Amino acid sequence: MKTYSRLIACPCCDSVYQRRRLNSGEEARCVRCAARLYCADPAALERWLALTFTAGIASAIATCYPVLEVAFHGAQRSVTLWQTATALASGATLPLGVGTVLLLIVVPFMQIALFGWVVFFARIGRPAPGFILAMKLLLFLRPWNMVGVGLLGFLVAGIKLAGWLQVAPGPGCWALALLMLLLTIISRRNIDTLWTCSAPPAGAPVVDHG
């Protein structure tokens, strides 16, 4: 199917316009219904890169550092996300272990990597190699991010163990909470700027400087 990357459709009335680069502070609006089509925000890409880099660090900490630390009569044990998945990936709980790896480790990593890849090339003013595929994968992966569910599971386990043992959240738990917040922000991003950078357009809809 042929695509027209230089065109943009109004999300409210489906009017179609040609894109063009806007100056800082400008905003393109639909002639028919005055809905906002896209705007120029030079700082958006820098913010997205910073968020993606931070999410990558949080993901590494959440994966490699202890999520829960348990103490009992002087004996201390800690468990990481990888250790949890490995412990589950045996016997009857193998599907649960595989799901833990995919939904709490692989999918968040792919989201961060793909989004960082696209935004990095957008920042230097050209489309990323495989841009369309990357954007489709990001859309496909969005509902499979279960970091929040995993964090809730660890919190429930910690609360239940607290009646018999001394339980404390580890660095991985705080990193997991931060990762959940960052991935929520990233997944709800406005991708207009990325599509605009994917193909420098010509022509213009109505521009509102206000």
Q: pLDDT tens for the chain, 210 residues: list them.
A: 456 667 778 878 888 888 777 776 677 888 888 887 776 665 677 888 888 899 899 888 888 888 877 776 666 777 777 777 777 767 777 777 777 778 778 888 888 898 888 888 887 777 788 888 888 888 888 777 777 666 666 666 666 666 676 777 778 888 888 888 888 887 776 566 666 655 544 444 444 433
Q: And the tokens for 78? A: 């800690």
Query: Residues 172, 81: contact at Cβ < 8 Å?
Result: yes
Phi, psi of 77 (to 5 degrees): -135, 150
Query: What separation in angstroms does the CA of 10 have from each of 25, 31, 44, 74, 172?
Result: 20, 10, 21, 64, 43
pTM of the model: 0.68
- Give the number of other CB atoms < 10 A from CB of residue 194: 23
